[in-house]
Structure 1
């Protein structure tokens, strides 16, 4: 059934992760390797999330809420390391603090009901990386690297996360606010398709990029 497609994202993530290991020689520093860390973190989250309820008898929301905290923190730190302008770096630091503070306030005082995804924290995290991603893109296309942007693994990674999160956020909020009806088949198809596009960007980045542009 179409809702089962969402579990296919594990294989997409595995493919990207394995490809990243194959081309590990193109990822010279911790900044580039953090991309691989994020991909494998996503893979592990999907695998553990799938079997968490079977293993523990608890809902797997705990797994995905922890993933929201870890992944968006790393996203913001990575984007901060990619942007060059001091003002933009300071904004990245501020957004990280806002995200972390809001995450715990939201967890303990707002969305503190048992068994639900922290959609408020996810929203703040997505908005933060959208802002920083567009700042990174603006700096990239305003620099002397504009002619070789496609040879950077960072460009393809940032493009991938934008392709996934920009359309998925309004879809998820529409479900939360009951603007559209939840349909497991449609949900599975959308999340699989967005993951397919995102992981395609990751694969292109690992294969097409050149080491000298990945510092």
Structure 2
């Protein structure tokens, strides 16, 4: 019933990617511009993922596993660059190493089941990003930045990441661990709604942010 919604996810990414390009003048450094690059990388992934099976005859888990590896690594690096506390930065570096190690360990261990490799690596990535995001938010709310946090594109981008990944993780684990029936219609609906909320956060950030808060 809702399977068709999954096809529209790429348009959400396209919209936020275009808004990001139009807002480049407010994104002064590589750190800020990297968010736009990641959104366009998501667009490319959705496009390749859609046609991958017809092109190769293989399941598109390979595409999304690669996307997950790149995106979570980028999220951790972005959060590391945003954190001010030295110990938090050190933790972010360790988290990146942990994620990379766990990704390849999962991939090797579950090499005959790439779907499981995706789920466990995804879970680890989400947990690590959640921890770093909480540290980032704690720093914001304990500093003068709290007065203008809504003017920072980074806040909205991190919020968008959390809005998608935090609810999606238990949904994925429920399907995997509790053997809940994988209904493609429900899956597509959940995926679309979470992507919609996430990209809305990105777009708000690009439009609402001010250049002086995006360094």
What TM bracket, shorter-length normalisation?
over 0.9
1:146 aligns with 2:146: yes
Q: State how far apart, in whole Å, the 2-side matches of 1:209 and 1:115 are.
A: 39
Match of 1:113 in 2: 112
Q: State how far apart, in whole Å, the 2-side matches of 1:114 and 1:193 are.
A: 27
- C-alpha displacement of 1:68: 1.0
TM-score, with length taken from structure 2: 0.97
Residues 12-39 of structure 1: CA deviation (Å, up to 9, x unaligned):
0000000000011011001001111111
Structure 1 segments (4+ residues) deviating >4 Å: none
Q: State how far apart, in whole Å, the 2-side matches of 1:127 and 1:116 are.
A: 19
Q: State how far apart, in whole Å, the 2-side matches of 1:58 and 1:114 are.
A: 13
Q: Which runs of 5+ in 1 are unaligned?
A: none
1:20 aligns with 2:37: no
Q: State how far apart, in whole Å, the 2-side matches of 1:115 and 1:124 are.
A: 15
TM-score, with length taken from structure 1: 0.97
Cα RMSD (Å) of the superposition?
1.0
Match of 1:59 in 2: 59
Match of 2:181 in 1: 181
Match of 1:30 in 2: 30
Q: State how far apart, in whole Å, the 2-side matches of 1:99 and 1:140 are.
A: 25
Equivalences, count:
214
Q: State how far apart, in whole Å, the 2-side matches of 1:180 and 1:107 are.
A: 24
Is residue 107–residue 114 contact of structure 2 (8 Å, CA) maintained in 1?
no
